[in-house]
């Protein structure tokens, strides 16, 4: 069995870019909330971004396969984790 790359369309890259942007916001909000744990507005923003990230990741995985392994993402059949390119390779 070879790891033949699947055809990648523009949507693949657009969705990964959206995920990266949301992940950046989540990291920044997480750092802020570490020092401002009572900022309800920031907590609401964090939760909204977390929900948005879940939705984007879920859609991406349905189209292109898992983003992470070890039980954090589902796999289709056949096992998808060994299919390239992996998200960090693009």
State how far the Cα of 48 lies from the Cα of 2, in Å rounded to an integer. 40
Band (pLDDT 50/70/90 cuts) for residue 29 is: very high
45 pLDDT above the threshold of 60: yes
Compute the mean pLDDT over every residue in the chain, rounded to the nearest whole number. Answer: 83
2 pLDDT above the threshold of 70: no
What are the sequence ranges of the domains in the chain?
A: 10-68+78-84
Which residues are CB-contacts of 84 (< 8 A; sequence separation ≥ 6)? Answer: 3, 4, 5
């Amino acid at each position: 069995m070879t790891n033949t790359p699947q055809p990648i369309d523009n949507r693949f890259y657009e969705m990964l870019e959206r995920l990266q942007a949301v992940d950046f916001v989540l990291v920044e909000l997480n750092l802020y909330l570490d020092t401002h744990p009572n900022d309800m507005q920031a907590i609401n923003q964090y939760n909204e971004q977390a929900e948005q990230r879940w939705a984007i990741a879920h859609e991406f995985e349905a189209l292109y396969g898992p983003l992470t392994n070890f039980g954090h993402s589902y796999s289709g059949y056949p096992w998808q984790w060994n299919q390239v390119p992996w998200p960090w390779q693009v």
